[in-house]
Structure 1
Amino acid sequence: MDLPTGLRIGGRVVAGRGPRLDVINPTTGGVLAVADSADADDLEHVIGVAQRTFDSGVWSRMPIHERSRILHRFADGIADRMTELYELETANNGRPLTETKAQITRLPEWYRYNASLLLADRDAVVPMPGPYHSYTTRLPLGVVAILASFNHPMMIASKSLGPALATGNSVVLKPSEQTPLTAMLLADIAHEAGIPDGVLNVVNGLGPVVGAALTQHPLVKKVVFTGGTEPGRSIAVAAAQRFAKTTLELGGKSPVLIFDDTPIEVAARGAAFGGFIGAGQTCIAGSRLIVQRSIHDEFLSSLASLAEQIRIGDPALPETQLGPVISAKARDRILATIANSGARVVTGGTAAEVPGCEGGFFVQPTVLADVTNDMPVAREEIFGPVVVVIPFDDEDEAVAIANDSPYALGSAVWTRDIARGHRVASRIEAGMVWVNDHHRLDPSSPWGGLKESGIGREGGWESFHDFTHVRAVTVRTAPDDVDWYGGIATGRLN
């Protein structure tokens, strides 16, 4: 296929004036494409285009039924080009084809859901005393910047792009410079669906250059960022200085509590899914396994056996279950973390050799034992196929270990006791808790974290309304005129 490499600004494909950037295929280490990037002048141009488009009202004031119909056409266009999208994303970020297909075949749901929320939303009538009819309306923010990450480029972009577009905003989408290709194609599909030119723009470039400029620009009224906690902290500070909104989905070290009433094989398969899917390159990876001591050794053996059976290989092949990590730098960082962990390596811990993919960035699925919760390997995000196993004795201790973390994004509880499942879920400090599962998401369910895992939510009404301002309208319904100073003031001002 012809790979999309240019910027998408105002409905046109344009060459960026920044340095051209190699897009590396993590499976081979070779160059997949050379993509354009934006410079400061490009950023001023794209934000200006987005703002003028917003001000024109061509999208922001379009009747909501028409806007909803166009978003449904956009969803149809994504579905029609699904094979092209998931093959391109697999080539770009190295996630196995079967995983990528399973994830992004759901993308149209995000646009359909938010298109439907647009029609379902209702304004509130406020019961103000006196001769007044008071009600609320909502209005779009203006220009929204979405800074997506490399691990799930299309899904992460779409979780916020759906509500941002539905509520009438103009968007500048900045994909990760490591994985820009599907975002560029997404803008083409939006244009074909009839989303007006200038509503969805895509600019590639380095985070410290393009991402920072978007974050700091006075016309950008909201910033959505998925990535590391420290960059997220900088974005929050920059946005706060001009009172812009933020949604920040940041780091995680998700605890997985495994109780001894769960069959060993069930728990091990669930833990492997939670920890190794996507090569562990996800903020909600179940990387901290907190296992009841009575089953600890047997569980550890079963999980190690499963990890050793995972098929590592070319992600384009349907039989592959684990692909490469995103870069040589990531691979080397993961391996150094394992080597310096002070933990016992039960299995894995080394780079994987894949015939035919000798230049790829593969890491063996790794299980670490003899870990305590105060060790760096149990507290810091590794972002690779590495899990640590920590024993506990009773429910209170399990919850205490789970909550003893700077992060609070995802978590999981494995138990056959339904009362315990609800009870423990209510005690875990996290934005999301799965019981007897992991990684599940839906456009109707709020997604986000607490503590250093970020702020704000993606999904549901929570996200939809956060792309708007609320406005109160109060109408005096009394037949007489207001004449506060014409006689004795007997009313009240507030």
Structure 2
Amino acid sequence: MTIPGAQTTAATARHIPDGVPSSLQHYIGGEFVDSVGGATFDVLDPVSNTTYATAAAGQREDVDRAVAAAREAFTNGPWPRMKPRERARVLNRIADAVEAQEARLAELETFDTGLPITQAKGQALRAAENFRFFADLIVAQFDDAMKVPGSQINYVNRKPIGVAGLITPWNTPFMLESWKLAPALATGNTVVLKPAEFTPLSASLWAQIFKDAGLPDGVFNLVNGLGEEAGDALVKHPDVPLISFTGETTTGQTIFRNAAAHLKGLSMELGGKSPCIVFADADLDAAIDSALFGVFSLNGERCTAGSRILVERPVYEEFCQKYAARARTIVVGDPHDPKTEVGALVHPEHYAKVASYVEIGKTEGRLLAGGGRPEHLPEGNYIAPTVFADVSPDARIFQEEIFGPVVAITPFDTDAEALELANNTRYGLAAYVWTSDLTRAHTFSQDVEAGMVWLNSHNVRDLRTPFGGVKASGLGHEGGYRSIDFYTDQQAVHITLGAVHTPQFGRIDDSAANEG
């Protein structure tokens, strides 16, 4: 279905940034290499859905090679043994390099993912900030020391764990890779990164950035490939003691099962179907701004998208009318055009999934905006911002993660009903609450089943706070000191002061011996 009247940019010829490589290799032990067996896969750009590169497809033997390089760098290399300040200097040089090529990174990210260029630009700066943050944190890091007067001193010694397996998603890939790379490297670990197969382009840039910054060879390793091949081999590898994964919930369940054999440490940020709850006393215009941004920015391909909007009955129709009118004027078009607000979805497979949910939604709700492909964009993975109202809580578009520019709006009458609706999914990643009642805001946030809550705010990330979900949305949290906890072993060291007073099992005193 095409959508007449949608605000658009003009359809343009396919834009290919200068210097895009026609082939992408692995990076192992400080060298770019092909797969041992020569396997490759095609990489498409989402505007034309044509192949722009072939990438080395990692198999078990490639993962074995990468893990061996990382293990060697961890066991015998300098990185884990550097003082925090020395590692921090390298991290800051990495941040400088990322900032210096912000425009280039954004252009490549837009080309590879379909994200609007204005939104991709911010991702490079956020990636740089992640490295600066953890450079500061490891220098400021301190651990507990406890004194038992006259008896003992006890302290905590943190040690890097080993080879960290990092598996990252295709939405804002470069920035999300930095969320894992920065703390893993800051704490002295070595890494094997397996980026998403849909978007391997920007991940290939890390190798030169790290080398120029002075990161020793073998500390960072990159293996491209499919999740069921390279990702699976990384999760199952006995020399990879911890896995950090961001992605879809069913994949997370598979990783959980496969990691059990080696009792690996796991941190998993998974799917979401986050509620945005708007009470009648809210600043309605501010809530609409936030609710639009929360589901339609990044093409709707964001785990924390507020894709279920729950609105109190007295303002429900007004909200729906204003929200849909704004959604119909969102600019859809070429991701490289600065006027574009929603670009192309990442891949034809994902486009087909989102389009199928749009069709399902037409049987489950009242269509207020969108509903298909914009008429001026006959090619590429474009879907107009789509709004359904009057959606039942048992509807598939209410319950299931769509991960695209599609939103379901549902009314409620009481605070209790709002809470029941908010918690009525298997997911629990984020929640957004709009109300002028301070008591209600704090009470609701305590009771909502979500790992993160924003009150009268859109999704603003504070790197010091935990990031993660509950229920089917994740396992564990990263961010700030939680990341330091995940990427290090905490060893308790106990020192006795003065004479040692230990019960002397098996000792026979002299008098007893003489009597014998």
- Normalization by structure 2: what TM-score? 0.91
> Given residue 463 of structure 1, which amino acid in structure 2 is its aligned partner?
S
CA displacement, residues 434-453 of structure 1 (integer Å, 9 cap, x when unaligned): 11222221321211000000
Match of 1:265 in 2: 285
Does 1:458 pair with 2:478? Answer: yes
Match of 1:383 in 2: 403
3-state SS, counterpart of residue 291 of structure 1: strand
Matches within 5 A, 1:317-396: 317-341=337-361, 342-355=364-377, 358-396=378-416
Equivalent residues of 1:446, 1:462 under 8 A apart: yes
CA displacement, residues 142-172 of structure 1 (integer Å, 9 cap, x when unaligned): 0001100001101211111111000000000
Q: Distance in 1 between matches of 2:408 and 2:87?
A: 47
Q: Distance in 1 between matches of 2:73 and 2:198?
A: 29
Match of 1:309 among 329, 342, 345: 329
Does 1:93 pair with 2:113? Answer: yes
> Given residue 443 of structure 2, which amino acid in structure 1 is its aligned partner?
R
Match of 1:186 among 198, 206, 228: 206
> Given residue 314 of structure 1, which amino acid in structure 2 is its aligned partner?
D
Equivalent residues of 1:408, 1:450 under 8 A apart: yes
Matches within 5 A, 1:23-422: 23-127=43-147, 131-341=151-361, 342-355=364-377, 358-422=378-442
Q: How far is the alpha carbon of 1:274 from its aligned partner?
A: 0.8
Equivalent residues of 2:433, 2:455 under 8 A apart: yes
Match of 1:6 among 22, 25, 37: 25
Q: Distance in 2 between matches of 1:85 and 1:362?
A: 23
3-state SS, counterpart of residue 319 of structure 1: coil
3-state SS, counterpart of residue 469 of structure 1: strand
Q: How far is the alpha carbon of 1:372 from its aligned partner?
A: 1.3
> Given residue 366 of structure 2, which amino acid in structure 1 is its aligned partner?
R
> Given residue 27 of structure 2, which amino acid in structure 1 is its aligned partner?
R
Q: Distance in 2 between matches of 1:419 and 1:299?
A: 23
Q: Distance in 2 between matches of 1:129 and 1:209?
A: 56
Instruction: Indicate the larger mover: 144-153 or 11-20.
Output: 11-20
CA displacement, residues 54-104 of structure 1 (integer Å, 9 cap, x when unaligned): 001410111221111111111111111111111111100000000111233
Q: Distance in 2 between matches of 1:354 and 1:11?
A: 46
Equivalent residues of 1:353, 1:362 under 8 A apart: no
Change over 3 Å in CA distance of 1:398–1:482 after alignment to 2: closer
Q: Distance in 2 between matches of 1:354 and 1:95?
A: 18
Q: Distance in 1 between matches of 2:148 and 2:424?
A: 46
Equivalent residues of 1:30, 1:359 under 8 A apart: no
Equivalent residues of 1:43, 1:213 under 8 A apart: yes
Q: Distance in 2 between matches of 1:466 and 1:129?
A: 32
Instruction: Indicate the larger mover: 408-417 or 418-427.
Output: 418-427
Equivalent residues of 1:379, 1:405 under 8 A apart: yes
Change over 3 Å in CA distance of 1:240–1:128 after alignment to 2: farther
CA displacement, residues 321-349 of structure 1 (integer Å, 9 cap, x when unaligned): 10011122222222222212322211111
Q: Distance in 2 between matches of 1:472 and 1:377?
A: 49
Change over 3 Å in CA distance of 1:52–1:344 after alignment to 2: same
Equivalent residues of 1:280, 1:383 under 8 A apart: yes
Q: Distance in 2 between matches of 1:147 and 1:444?
A: 22
Q: How far is the alpha carbon of 1:420 from its aligned partner?
A: 2.5
Q: Distance in 1 between matches of 2:128 and 2:344?
A: 27
Greater C-alpha Rg:
2
3-state SS, counterpart of residue 230 of structure 1: helix
3-state SS, counterpart of residue 472 of structure 1: strand
Change over 3 Å in CA distance of 1:464–1:152 after alignment to 2: same
Q: Distance in 2 between matches of 1:304 and 1:140?
A: 50
Equivalent residues of 1:264, 1:298 under 8 A apart: no
Q: How far is the alpha carbon of 1:488 from its aligned partner?
A: 7.2
Equivalent residues of 2:59, 2:233 under 8 A apart: no
Equivalent residues of 1:264, 1:302 under 8 A apart: no
Q: How far is the alpha carbon of 1:481 from its aligned partner?
A: 8.1
Q: How far is the alpha carbon of 1:478 from its aligned partner?
A: 2.0
Q: Percent identity?
A: 40
Match of 2:11 in 1: none
3-state SS, counterpart of residue 471 of structure 1: strand
Match of 1:492 in 2: none
Equivalent residues of 2:123, 2:174 under 8 A apart: no
CA displacement, residues 11-56 of structure 1 (integer Å, 9 cap, x when unaligned): 1111223522211111121222222222222111110000010001
Equivalent residues of 1:290, 1:390 under 8 A apart: yes
3-state SS, counterpart of residue 424 of structure 1: helix
3-state SS, counterpart of residue 452 of structure 2: coil
Equivalent residues of 1:403, 1:429 under 8 A apart: yes
Q: Distance in 1 between matches of 2:487 and 2:148?
A: 26
Q: Distance in 2 between matches of 1:482 and 1:435?
A: 56
Equivalent residues of 1:32, 1:92 under 8 A apart: no
> Given residue 10 of structure 1, which amino acid in structure 2 is its aligned partner?
G
User: Which stretches in structure 2 are left out of the alignment for 5+ residues?
Assistant: 1-17, 510-516
Change over 3 Å in CA distance of 1:437–1:480 after alignment to 2: closer
Match of 2:42 in 1: 22
Equivalent residues of 2:98, 2:124 under 8 A apart: no
Q: How far is the alpha carbon of 1:116 from its aligned partner?
A: 1.2
Match of 1:445 in 2: 465
3-state SS, counterpart of residue 283 of structure 1: coil
3-state SS, counterpart of residue 241 of structure 2: strand
- Normalization by structure 1: what TM-score? 0.95
Q: Distance in 2 between matches of 1:367 and 1:351?
A: 14
User: Which stretches in structure 1 are left out of the alignment for 5+ residues?
Assistant: 490-494
